[in-house]
């Protein structure tokens, strides 16, 4: 009975490790594909506002940076 219990416990630990790996990969993918581009776009938006380039130019720069970085991350860093 002890051997069967050890096997069940070992299988459960392996399944938990697999679940943790899947969750980690999902968080990293979301962070890379949406978090990084959004952060850089927000930085560009506020930088343009501070430089007094106007709201619309800041908004355009933020959107352009978001799209550019999103595409770079999607094409080169995501599998």
- Tell me what percent of the residues of the chain surpass a pLDDT of 90: 44
- Say what the pLDDT of residue 27 is: 86
Res. 6 pLDDT band, cuts 50 70 90: low
The parent domain of residue 57 ranges over 2-77
- pTM of the shown model: 0.69
58: CB partners within 8 A, 6+ apart: 44, 45, 46, 47, 48, 49
pLDDT higher than threshold 80 for residue 44: yes
What's the angle, vertex CA 49, arms to CA 40 and CA 51, rounded to 5?
105
pLDDT higher than threshold 70 for residue 66: yes
Res. 67 pLDDT band, cuts 50 70 90: very high
Work out how many domains the chain is built from and give that number.
1
């Amino acid at each position: 009975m002890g051997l069967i219990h050890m096997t069940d416990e070992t299988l459960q630990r392996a399944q938990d490790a697999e679940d943790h790996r899947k969750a980690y990969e999902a968080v990293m993918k979301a962070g890379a594909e949406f978090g990084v581009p959004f952060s850089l776009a927000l930085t560009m938006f506020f930088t343009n506002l501070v430089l007094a380039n106007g709201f619309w130019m800041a908004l355009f720069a933020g959107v352009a940076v978001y799209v550019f970085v999103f595409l770079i991350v999607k094409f080169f860093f995501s599998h």
